[in-house]
């Protein structure tokens, strides 16, 4: 499919990358899967999908993508992380498995599986002033939560109990939930707005 939109990648090592590719293409982006460092060179932004953050970490290092991706993040490439992707972007992770690393970039502390296991998955509506009305219907599956928002980041969405579930910092965006699983694609659109034209 030809697209006049920006060329963006979805990290396709593990997780629900196909759904993100579909959403981004639906928004007019030239969205491509990224599995290797050379493919990373061809994109202006990247989505890191949900999945298993520890597996994604291992595969990103095994495939030689982690270090080039850290460098691109440091250089200001727009990146959007959902669920496990948020964990990958966090500077600090609580309850990480032994040896687990992150790409970093987001000045936040994130807790893995903050809401419990798969059986504790849930859906809720979030009022997000930056996105306007209506509320965002959010799907949480073995989701993380942001426990500390550092001075460089800012919270975009908070649950009723005060836990932060969406953050941004310059060109970086992270959500603890899965907007690719709903028909509301405002977060993906917000990510695409960060891509230089």
Which pair of tokens denotes residue 108? 């936040």
With residue 149 as reference, give the H or E element that holds it.
Answer: strand 145-149
Question: Is 39 among the catalytic positions?
Answer: no
Question: Is 185 among the catalytic positions?
Answer: no
Name the one residue in this structure whose structure tokens are 């196909």. Answer: 18
Active-site residue, from 20, 52, 137, 180: 180
Active-site residue, from 20, 83, 168, 188: 83
The candidate with the shortest Cα–Cα distance to 111, out of 144, 148, 156, is 144
Active-site residue, from 20, 168, 178, 188: 178
Q: How many CB atoms lie within 10 A of CB 116?
A: 11
Residues 6+ apart with CB under 8 A from 160: none
The whole-angstrom separation of Cα 196 and Cα 146 is 28
The whole-angstrom separation of Cα 2 and Cα 25 is 10
With residue 56 as reference, give the H or E element that holds it.
Answer: helix 53-62
Question: Is 83 among the catalytic positions?
Answer: yes
**Residue 63: Cβ-neighbour burial (10 angstroms; 0-12, 13-18, 19+):** middle
Active-site positions? 83, 178, 180
């Amino acid at each position: 499919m030809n697209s006049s939109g920006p060329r963006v990648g979805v990290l396709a090592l593990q997780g629900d990358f196909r759904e993100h590719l579909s959403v981004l293409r639906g928004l007019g982006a030239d969205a491509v899967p990224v599995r290797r460092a050379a493919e990373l060179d061809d994109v202006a932004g990247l989505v890191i999908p949900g999945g298993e953050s520890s597996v994604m970490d291992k595969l990103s290092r095994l495939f030689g993508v982690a270090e080039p991706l850290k460098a691109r993040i440091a250089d200001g490439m727009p990146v959007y992380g959902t669920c496990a992707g948020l964990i990958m972007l966090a500077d600090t992770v609580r309850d990480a498995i032994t040896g687990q690393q992150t790409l970093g970039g987001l000045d936040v502390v994130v807790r893995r599986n903050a809401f419990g296991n798969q059986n504790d998955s849930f859906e809720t509506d979030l009022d997000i002033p930056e996105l306007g009305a209506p509320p965002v219907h959010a799907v949480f599956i073995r989701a993380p939560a942001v426990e500390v928002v550092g001075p460089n980041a800012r919270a975009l969405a908070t649950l009723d109990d005060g836990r932060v579930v969406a953050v941004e910092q310059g060109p970086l965006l992270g959500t603890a939930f899965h907007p690719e699983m709903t028909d509301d694609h405002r977060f993906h659109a917000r990510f695409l707005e960060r891509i230089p034209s």
